[in-house]
């Protein structure tokens, strides 16, 4: 197994085990943002994009149809049933990643905004108890931090499927050859 995948699994297991009250202080995130930044640097940082050999610009694969799988990645699914609207945010994020030449940062920022808007709208509509509304915001922050810190591999794989380089789809081997995760 490669190091990034193992790091991803460790973080996912940690997020599933930790309770939000153990991760957050009254002032917000207590170190999770720094952890996300550290993993973002390990997984490509600001340079997370599909690059074709010989600096050829990727073009849309006409046979590819963007898809989504709800809230999860690499076979993991997250139960977001307490927070209506999150699944549609995850689906929109997946579709963004899975559209050729989209910028990862734009997808991640739109995802964050969608999650936060969902918490706000559901809080108003359902008049959530304050603790549930806070938990919604904390979960949104955690999910966004996870995508920022660990999403580069998923983004590049989605772009590999969505784009062609000089009329051909890059193999997984080619992606590893031309990209460092």
The pLDDT score that the predictor gives to residue 123 is 61
For the beta carbon of residue 150, count every other beta carbon within 10 angstroms: 23
* Residue 139 CA: distances (Å) to CA of 68, 120, 161: 20, 13, 29
The pLDDT score that the predictor gives to residue 61 is 97
Angle at 54 between CA 50 and CA 59, to 5 degrees: 45
Q: At what angle do helices 104-126 and 86-97 cross, to 10 degrees?
A: 170
Phi-psi region of 152 (alpha: psi -120 to 50; beta: other; left: phi over 0): alpha
The residue ranges of every structural domain in the chain are: 3-178
Is the model's pLDDT at 8 over the cut of 70?
no
SS3 102: coil
Hey, which residues are catalytic here?
Answer: 93, 108
54 vs 64: CA distance, rounded Å: 23
Confidence of residue 76 (pLDDT cuts 50, 70, 90): confident
């Amino acid at each position: 197994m490669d190091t990034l995948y193992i790091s991803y699994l460790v973080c996912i297991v940690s997020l599933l085990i930790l309770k939000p009250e153990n991760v957050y202080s009254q002032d917000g995130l207590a170190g999770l943002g720094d952890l996300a930044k550290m993993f973002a640097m390990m997984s490509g940082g600001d340079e997370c994009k599909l690059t074709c050999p010989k600096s050829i610009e990727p073009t849309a694969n006409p046979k590819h149809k963007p898809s989504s799988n709800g809230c999860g990645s690499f076979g993991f699914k997250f139960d977001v049933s307490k927070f209506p609207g999150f699944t549609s945010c995850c689906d929109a994020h997946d579709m963004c990643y899975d559209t050729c030449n989209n910028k990862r940062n734009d997808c991640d920022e739109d995802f964050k905004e969608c999650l936060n808007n969902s918490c706000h709208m559901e809080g108003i509509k359902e008049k959530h108890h304050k603790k549930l509304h806070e938990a919604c915001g904390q979960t949104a922050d955690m999910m966004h931090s996870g995508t920022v810190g660990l999403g580069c591999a998923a983004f590049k794989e989605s772009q590999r499927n969505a784009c062609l380089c000089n009329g051909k789809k890059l193999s997984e081997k080619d992606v590893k050859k031309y990209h460092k995760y």
